[in-house]
Amino acid sequence: MNCGNYAPTGLLNHPCTEPSATCGNRITQVDTLRSTYSWFKCYVRGEKHSGGNNVWYYTNGDDHGAYGYIPASRVFTSVDPAPGLPYC
């Protein structure tokens, strides 16, 4: 799926906003999404984020091509998860 998004946005190695029992204590930024219109491969459910839900989108970054997660609040969708996007 291609969709608009906020940029720059850091891609994280886990769908979490901070260390937790679910994601451990090693949340790191693996890349950065710099484009404002990006391709998203799939979604997962992770920790609840500032957007008020637990949907995270999986994509690859613009600096190194590494894959990671961004919260749905950073992606311009009318509903989350976006219709037609598969679960990872």
pLDDT at 24: 67
Q: Establish whether the linkage from the previous residue to 8 is cis, with ω within 30° of 0.
A: yes
pLDDT at 20: 66
Q: Establish whether the linkage from the previous residue to 19 is cis, with ω within 30° of 0.
A: no
pLDDT at 22: 66
- Count the alpha carbons within 13 Å of 38 in the hemisphere toward its beta carbon: 28
Coil/strand/helix, residue 72: helix
Cα 35-85-52 angle, rounded to 5 deg: 75
Q: Which two tokens stand for residue 78?
A: 């009318």
> Could you read off the pLDDT of 11-65 as tens digits, one per residue?
999 898 766 666 767 788 999 999 999 999 999 998 888 888 999 999 999 999 9
